Amino acid sequence: MQIANNKVVTVTYRLQANLPSEEKRHIETADASAPLRFLYGVGMMIPGFERELSGKASGDSFDFTILAADAYGDADETAVISLPIDIFKVEDVIDFEILKVGNVLPMSDNQGNVLNGRVVSYDDKAVKMDFNHPLAGHTLHFSGEVVEVREATEEEISHGHVH
C-alpha cells in the first residue's frame, strides 16, 4: 500500500538541520522503539515532509532535504520582541535561573494562547524573546524508512489523528 491521503503512516527517521554555527547537527531520531505514526494528508506534518513521502510504501527508505520554506518557514524578525522584565517577577522577585539566555519559556499572548519563547538577552528593564519555531530558517535533512502504511479507520479520519 502506498502513502496517500487518509493513510496511517509509520516511519523511523533521523533528522539533521543546518544551523548557523554548524554544517549539520543531529536534532532527533525516531527509531523502531518509538517510531513516528501519523495520519497522512491532514496537515499534521510539515508540508515538505509529506510531499517527499508521497507514494512510498512499507519497506521503502528515504533520504531528502527540505528547505525552510517547506518546513517551519523563514525566521520572522517580528517574532523577536522585547518584554518588560517586570512580567517575569514571581512574588516581586525575578528568578534569573529561569531567565538564562537560551532557555525556552512557556508564555501566553493576550488571547490566552500558549507560545514558547527562547530568551535571547535581558537587561534590568527588558527581556528579548524569540517566538520563532527553533527550526525556523533552517534546512532539514531526513533519512529513514517507511515501516508501515495502512488504511485509517473512520474514527481516525473524523478525529484527524491516529488512535
Strands 7-19 and 61-66: unpaired
Give Cα 54 to chain centroid, integer Å: 20
Taking the mean position of all CA atoms in its chain, how far away is CA 65?
15
Q: Are 135 and 71 in contact (CB under 8 A)?
A: yes
pLDDT digits (tens, 9 = 90+) for 58-106: 999 999 999 999 999 999 999 999 999 999 988 889 888 889 999 999 9
- 25-50 residue pLDDT tens: 899 999 999 999 999 999 999 999 99
Average pLDDT over every residue of 107-111: 88
Q: Which three three-digit cell numbers place residue 32?
A: 523502531
Backbone φ and ψ for 108, nearest 5 degrees, come out as -120, 140
pLDDT reading at 109 higher than 90: no
pLDDT at 20 over 70: no
